Structure formats: structure tokens, C-alpha cells
Amino acid sequence: MLIPSEHEGVKVVKCGHEIGGKVYYWVHFFIYSDILFDSGCPHTAKEVFEAFKDKKAVLITHYHEDHSGGAIELQKVMKAYAPKKSLEILKNPPEVMEYRKMVWGQPLPVYAKPLDELPAEFGVETIENPKHSFDHVSFLIDKKLFCGDLVISRGQTVCLREKRLLKTIESLRRILKYYFDFAYTANGVLSREEVEDYLAYLEELREKAERLYKEGKSIDEIVNALFPNPPQMAFMMEAVSEKEWARENIVMSLLNLL
């Protein structure tokens, strides 16, 4: 399912796969200057192809299937570009866990070009910011930041086991040295101020986690102190993903224990 809208000249595409008539997880990708920034998941690849097969190219922020999946079809008619670190894993995607197959779909090979081959006329600047994944980048064009999963929001209670939040903090500090009006993220459109607030939130969590850890608190005790009233969705994600997504991952990552 694709739900399009517009923001400041950017086409915003809310993308998700229905399971039993309900979409359990949405992800956003974007079209600007006839370029796709990310491309949705494998389950919606054919829809994405039919809607956007006339565009110039697709740029991928990182290899995860909910961002690269649409390129499975789009690569038939346009070039896909991705970080150099992503190229091999895109060509030979690993089998993902069952819940990811249900929600997004099993990724298939994408034969992308490295980002250093991007045509200069695209006017896109690439900024490396590993955090959510080892290969993550953002794209800056016309004061618009297309940043995949770099930015979530204040109130985040779970994260992927792969995520390295200390690197996220470094990457957010780096990205905020660039001038942009809005960040176009997997979770939607955020203002620069909301990006700054997310950085402040992570720094607050890190400070609390480090203090409690030095006091001798266990990881479970720190989790409960940092997230005393987590939403039901957090419990559901932990259960369904076998803690690939978990509150514990946030704490362990901030303490550099992962």
C-alpha cells in the first residue's frame, strides 16, 4: 500500500504491507527532482515500480529491506545507487527473520552502483553517518536532508540490535553542522528543531544510563528506570522480533556493551 502526499515540493510516500487488512509498520520514502530517496519494501516493489518507473534514479540510504526493496523492480528501468559498503550485501541479501518477511518481505538481489558514480548534475551531496546500520548515509539537496533511519524522535523506546547509538549521537552532531530546513526520515518529515531534540533525548538517555550503571544497577533495572511506562507496541515488537528490537538494546548500545 502506498499513500502519497506533498511537502515543500517533495513527494512523500507512506509505504506498508497489509496483513489481515492492517498495516502494522509504515515506512516513508521520497521523490524529489525526479529522484527516489529510498524505495520501500519488497512487498510493495511492484506498486513502487508502476508509480515511479519514469523517474531518473533511486538512491538508497542503507541496505535494510524496508529501504532498498523497491529497487528490486526499479533497477529494471533506472540505475540504483547505494553506499559502497552496501553493494555486496545488496547483491547477496541474507535471509531475514520471519517477522521481517511478513512485514516487509525477503529482500532479493539489487545490483547498485556506488554513490561516487552519481552524476554531478543530480546536485546531491552524500554524508556518511553509520549508526542504524554499518553502511548508512544521508543525502542533502536544496536544504532538504534525506536521512533514512538516522533520526527517530523523542520518546523512542526500542531499537534494532544492530544499532550503535553512540555512533548515532556522533552522526547527529555531524549532520547538524549542515544547513537543512527539514529532515525526510523513514518515520516522516521532521523539522531541524526536531532533529536537535532527538539528539538531546539520546544524550539524556546516555547520561542516565551511565549514572545508573556506575551505581551498580543491572541492565533490567536501567531499562525499567529509563522506560517506566513503555507503550504496548514496544512489548509487541520485542516479542515478535525475539528482541531484535528491544528496550534493552537501547541501554546496551548507549553503554557500549553491544
- 43-63 residue pLDDT tens: 999 999 999 999 999 999 999
Give the CA-trace dihedral at 200, 201, 205, 211, to 10 degrees: 40
Q: For the chain, what is the HEC assignment? A: CEEEEEECCEEEEEECCEECCEECCCEEEEEECCEEECCCCHHHHHHHHHHHCCCCEEECCCCCHHHHCCHHHHCCCCEEEECHHHHHHHHCCCCCCHHHHHHCCCCCCCCCEEHHHCCHHHCCEEEECCCCCCCCEEEEECCEEEEECCCCCCCCCCEECCCCHHHHHHHHHHHCCCCCCEEEECCEEEEHHHHHHHHHHHHHHHHHHHHHHHCCCCHHHHHHHHCCCCCHHHHHHHHHCCCCEEHHHHHHHHCCCC
| Per-residue pLDDT at 131 | 62
Rounded Cα distance between 196 and 175, Å, is 10
Round the average pLDDT of the chain to a whole number and report it.
94
CATH number 3.60.15.10 is the correct assignment for the domain at 1-123: yes
Distance of CA 220 to the CA centre of its chain: 27
> Which region among 152-161, 179-188, 192-201, 212-221 has the lowest average model confidence (pLDDT)?
152-161
Cell of 149: 533511519
| Per-residue pLDDT at 132 | 58
Whether the per-residue pLDDT at 77 is higher than 80: the answer is yes
Whole-model pTM? Answer: 0.93
CB-side exposure of 114: number of CA atoms within 13 Å?
5
